[in-house]
Structure 1
Amino acid sequence: MLTGIHVVMIGGDARQIEIVRKLSTLDARVSLVGFEQIDVGFIGVSKQEMEDIDWKTVEAILLPVGGIGSDGFINSVFSSEKIKLETKHLKQTPDNCTIYTGITSSRLDKMASQTKCHVVVLMNRNDVAIYNSIPTAEGAVMLVIQHTDSTIHQANIAVLGLGRIGMTIARTFKELGAHVSIGDRDSASLARAFELGLKPFHLDEIKQALEQADVVINTIPAKVVTSSVLTEMKQHAFLLDLASKPGGIDHDYAEKRGLKSMLVPGLPGMVAPKTAGKILANVLSDLLLEQTRTQ
């Protein structure tokens, strides 16, 4: 149980509701910031403003999967207000306060270094990323069907990055009958792609590899699909960018060329928020229980 632990949840989307539900059943005290547009009826849960929170009692801060923006603000679909977590808030917390975030940033790391807070990046965990890859792959299939006019079966689909998410996506589209190629820089990943019956290519050869692609799905958080690559692609190609912002595709140039492209880094929260929320809730509750045992 999490009886007595004070958790502050700041911003987010529908996934956060499942996390709140789980923490409530474990008897945690939860303060919600950025949830004024939704009714919350869980025991031990209350809505508060940033300045009204007793930060001296806060043992855990839960940020959305997207973390903190470069401007310091935190997004919330349940609020029209601008929400900002500042160093002055963190400096008031106890020494054992932990910040849980989906992804981190230089701004958040700097804030934590100026205080005694510890940052845990959930999407760096293998378990979270692998579980999360399931709704991500299903969402990718949905978007490809919606934004193309041909079947996935026999389509030429290129997946960039054979990480934990890329592997699930590649396997899913292969099972649907697509011709799937994998682009990566790591020789072990390229060998694994070959073993899985996929067509591997090194990212140094990306321009030639994508010339015949009907669909490109990027999972690499670095600019790999540049204007020179896009110039050689088929006009009907659909580009789906699942990497964290700003993504790995030059979307501005894709638009100029008339190519369909989308940047959707929070896909699980869009297509399966309940499942994605339960994944995060289970991991977070285990981490918080471990945190309480080590205090």
Structure 2
Amino acid sequence: MKNKKSFSVIGGDLRQVKMANGLAQDGYDVKAFGFNNIEFHPSIIQVNSIQEAIDGADVIIAPLPCTLDNETVNAPFYDEKIFYKDLFKKISKNQLFVGGKLGEKINNLAKVYNIYVVDYFEREELTVLNAIPTAEGAIQIAMEEMPITIHSSNCLILGYGRIGRILSKMLWGLGANVTVEARKYEDLAWIKSFGYNGIHLNELTTVIGDYDVIFNTIPSVVLDTDILSKIDKECLVIDLASKPGGVDFEMARNIGIKTIWALSLPGKVAPNTAGDIIKDTIFNIIYELGV
């Protein structure tokens, strides 16, 4: 194990805990900082300062999302704040920093301190595999919230990206009547080839009232006042899109449409799987960089 990399895991939710434990189980040296009352693998060293965390670490791993305020590490299991400026001050040019959804401000701060950073959320293998627990979580919500079965229900998916593709397949397998909205005609062709109903965005207002549940995956407001007014009041809307979301939530409340904004589902419904996906992606980054 002497030639293997050493890791420092700083902050995060259960995904990072699972990832850290997985690294330790694989025989790597791992330190953890930014966690209170979390039981880690016995070989993981929990430290009490940024300096202790980064000393001797080849790879420093921040969570997904890396920050909620563009200043501090997203550390829900920690009582204090960990500022990125304090972290970057202590990282050397020989250390690799990786995090998820870094954003413009964190990237710019890294440049100021001459830190080499990689955003693992921008990796295609992670986002594709992350779509699986997202889709499963969305279906779980629908099953818990709807008074009918998924089987034979009328389901509409807005968007045919990674999540839309996996979600449509899962719903189809459960016997749902699946309709998928897409803007590209090539996507509509693929949708048709799999046996789903396909509609173009321009047709949405004419059919929007026909569904028991609507899953949105588009990160812009598609379900605006005009379209929401045409949705059946018994329909459940599950928004899977990142901020700002795809629903006018205030209008939905005003007209009585039940809407659930289901953010960060992988970390909530399948943290172990999500942690393994992050770990594997980080190793892909290390391999490609040759560090």
- Runs of 4+ residues deviating >6 angstroms: none
Q: Is the CA contact (8 Å cut-off) linking 2:25 and 2:41 kept in structure 1?
A: no
Q: d(CA) in 1 for partners of 2:217 and 2:183?
A: 13
Any gaps of 5 or more consecutive residues in structure 1?
Answer: none
Query: Number of residues paired by the alignment?
Result: 291
> Are 2:55 and 1:48 aligned?
no
1:20-169 correspondence to structure 2 within 5 Å: 20-50=20-50, 52-53=51-52, 55=54, 57-86=56-85, 88-169=86-167
Percent identity, aligned pairs only, is: 30
> Aligned Cα RMSD in Å?
2.5
1:279 is aligned to 277
Q: d(CA) in 1 for partners of 2:75 and 2:207?
A: 39
Q: Is the CA contact (8 Å cut-off) linking 2:138 and 2:262 kept in structure 1?
A: no
C-alpha spacing 1:194/1:119, structure 2 compared with 1 (3 Å): farther
Q: d(CA) in 1 for partners of 2:282 and 2:220?
A: 28
Aligned to 2:210, what secondary structure does the other structure show?
coil
1:221 is aligned to 219
Q: What is the TM-score with the length of structure 1 in the denominator?
A: 0.87
1:33-84, CA deviations, whole angstroms, 9 ceiling, x for partnerless residues?
321121334324223333x446575543322222222442333332233333
Aligned to 1:73, what secondary structure does the other structure show?
coil
Q: d(CA) in 2 for partners of 1:182 and 1:119?
A: 37
1:289 is displaced (CA, Å) by: 5.1
Q: d(CA) in 2 for partners of 1:80 and 1:253?
A: 36
151-160 or 55-64: bigger deviation? 55-64
1:128 is displaced (CA, Å) by: 1.7
189-198 or 37-46: bigger deviation? 37-46
Q: Is the CA contact (8 Å cut-off) linking 1:126 and 1:164 kept in structure 2?
A: no
Q: d(CA) in 2 for partners of 1:194 and 1:136?
A: 23
Q: d(CA) in 2 for partners of 1:144 and 1:2?
A: 49
C-alpha spacing 1:32/1:134, structure 2 compared with 1 (3 Å): same
C-alpha spacing 1:194/1:287, structure 2 compared with 1 (3 Å): same
Q: What is the TM-score with the length of structure 2 in the denominator?
A: 0.88
AA in 1 matched with 2:88: L
AA in 2 matched with 1:175: G
Aligned to 1:35, what secondary structure does the other structure show?
coil
C-alpha spacing 1:15/1:173, structure 2 compared with 1 (3 Å): same
1:84-103, CA deviations, whole angstroms, 9 ceiling, x for partnerless residues?
322x5324322243332232
1:82-130, CA deviations, whole angstroms, 9 ceiling, x for partnerless residues?
33322x5324322243332232312222223323333333333232222
Q: Is the CA contact (8 Å cut-off) linking 2:15 and 2:272 kept in structure 1?
A: yes
Any gaps of 5 or more consecutive residues in structure 2?
Answer: none
Q: Is the CA contact (8 Å cut-off) linking 1:24 and 1:45 kept in structure 2?
A: no
Aligned to 1:181, what secondary structure does the other structure show?
strand
C-alpha spacing 1:235/1:72, structure 2 compared with 1 (3 Å): same
Q: d(CA) in 2 for partners of 1:114 and 1:235?
A: 51
C-alpha spacing 1:26/1:267, structure 2 compared with 1 (3 Å): same
Q: d(CA) in 1 for partners of 2:20 and 2:83?
A: 20
AA in 2 matched with 1:146: E
AA in 2 matched with 1:119: V
